[in-house]
Amino acid sequence: MSYQEKRREPRHAASGRITFRIAGENGRTVEASLVDVSQHGFRATHSHARLATGQEVWYECSGEQGRARVIWTRILGSEVQSGFLILVPAA
């Protein structure tokens, strides 16, 4: 079975810590690691399996903050990966 690439923008490998504050969860924070970035989004690994498509998060990475929406979440054993669309770029 062949896989059809659905990405619209090139991804670039990334690393580093990123912290999410999940909207609607009383300021709950999640520590994560960047996997890759694109012009309008990023992918990260974390341990919060309940992070769902459509949820919004405030994120902080390298001292910069922004807002993003979860586009997808995939659970691979004990690792959780999520893809995010940036709504308000880090400033």
- For the chain, what is the mean pLDDT? 88
Entry pTM:
0.86
Is residue 10's pLDDT more than 90?
Answer: no
Handedness of CA 49, 45, 53, 22 (dihedral sign): positive
Q: Read off the tokens for 4.
A: 């059809």
> Please, how many CA atoms are within 13 Å of residue 16, restricted to the half-sphere of its CB?
13
**Domains of the chain (ranges plus CATH)?**
12-88 (2.40.10.220)
Q: What is the pLDDT of residues 70-87, one digit of tens each?
A: 999 999 888 999 999 999
